[in-house]
Amino acid sequence: MTPRHTWHIVSGKGGTGKTTIACALACALATSGRRVLVCEVEGRQGISQLFDVPPLAGAEERRISRTPAGGAVYGLAIDAEDALIEYLDTFYHLSIAGKALDRFGAVDFATSIAPGLRDVLLTGKVYEAVRRKIKNRPNAYDAVVLDASPTGRIAQFLNVNAAVAGLAKAGPIRNQADSIMRLLRSTTTTVHLVTLLEEMPVTETEEAIAALRPTQIRLGSLIENMVTPTPLDRDQLEKAAAGSVILKVPRLTIKQNQALASEFAIEAARTLQEQQRLDRLAALGLPLVEIAFDHGGIDEGAIFAIAEQLIDQMSLETA
């Protein structure tokens, strides 16, 4: 059994828990003996905070977790300026010139004024990690998970070709962008979108899918995060939402039962709205993955629990 995809890209609107899902996915992929890298690109130090380990310094790939299944998860926080200096060093043996350029403000300039360039550098670093070879192993990592830009920018972020098209018509940057794009469009790369069953995240998910389709990058799963499952059917929920049920919990007073019923009416109405949004997500034609809301908060144990749910619902392996 091998991982079906070696490059997983996770996006989602801010606040949907995309970093948590990216980390959980890395844990899910890190089965016995496997090494999985999880990368972030937004400078938030979200990964180290989730695993409660010291911040990931520039260009450092450090083991941040051993999974219960016996794999290892490594973390990397990619910074565009470090990536540029590393790029110069790798391709041109120019680490000193790179540092000199940095002093002149050139690195800041290049990565700021040409954000396409910045995206190429960030995705380029992940590209390098995905393809890196080491002794006695086919790849340095069995899989790489990228905690990518939010849904509002994801298509732009991944469309590195388009980003540099106007800026570099030929030359090494262009070649690098072309190689990245080839890997992004290959069958071993996939993009997952994390959403809540709320209005804005669902709308942004729909928009992100429409924007991603033309890039020819394969879409993976839609991950509905923080779902509260209900054993009730639509009919029961509608009655509860309309306030037309009378609750009779023994040992609660009439007033308490009434307060419980009006609170439940709001909960039921919300659940109904969520179900409508779930229908909208289902209409997008991608596999849906449901992650239950964890009332205990998110720590390493909770990440492992989410990883279990991902393993159960996603086809991560291929024979």
Whose Cβ is closer to other proteins: residue 138's or residue 166's?
A: 166
Whose Cβ is closer to other proteins: residue 36's or residue 80's?
A: 80
DSSP string, 254-275: HHHHHHHHHHHHHHHHHHHHHH
Q: Does 256 bind other proteins (CB under 8 A)?
A: yes
Cα 310 from chain centroid (whole Å): 13
DSSP string, 124-176: HHHHHHHH--BTTBS-S-SEEEEE---GGGHHHHH-HHHHHHTT-SSSHHHHH
Q: Does 292 bind other proteins (CB under 8 A)?
A: no
Only one of the segments 27-35, 62-70, 216-224, 262-270 lies at the binding site for other proteins (rule: CB under 8 A); that segment is: 262-270
Kind plus residue range of the DSSP H or E element containing 118: helix 115-131
Whose Cβ is closer to other proteins: residue 40's or residue 142's?
A: 40
CB of 1 to other proteins, least distance (A): 36
Distance between CA atoms of residues 60 and 62, nearest Å: 6
CB of 14 to other proteins, least distance (A): 3
For the segment 21-80, give every residue that binds other proteins (CB under 8 A).
42-44
Q: Does 106 bind other proteins (CB under 8 A)?
A: yes
For the segment 196-255, give every residue that binds other proteins (CB under 8 A).
198-200, 203, 228, 230-232, 236, 240, 245, 247-255
Of 114, 183, 227, 305, the one binding other proteins by CB under 8 A:
114
Whose Cβ is closer to other proteins: residue 175's or residue 318's?
A: 175
Distance between CA atoms of residues 289 and 192, nearest Å: 10
Distance, first Cα to last Cα, the chain = 5
Strands 288-292 and 35-40: unpaired
Q: Does 115 bind other proteins (CB under 8 A)?
A: yes
Whose Cβ is closer to other proteins: residue 2's or residue 228's?
A: 228
Q: Does 112 bind other proteins (CB under 8 A)?
A: yes
Burial class (CB in 10 A: 0-12, 13-18, 19+), 308: middle
CB of 104 to other proteins, least distance (A): 5
Q: Does 188 bind other proteins (CB under 8 A)?
A: no
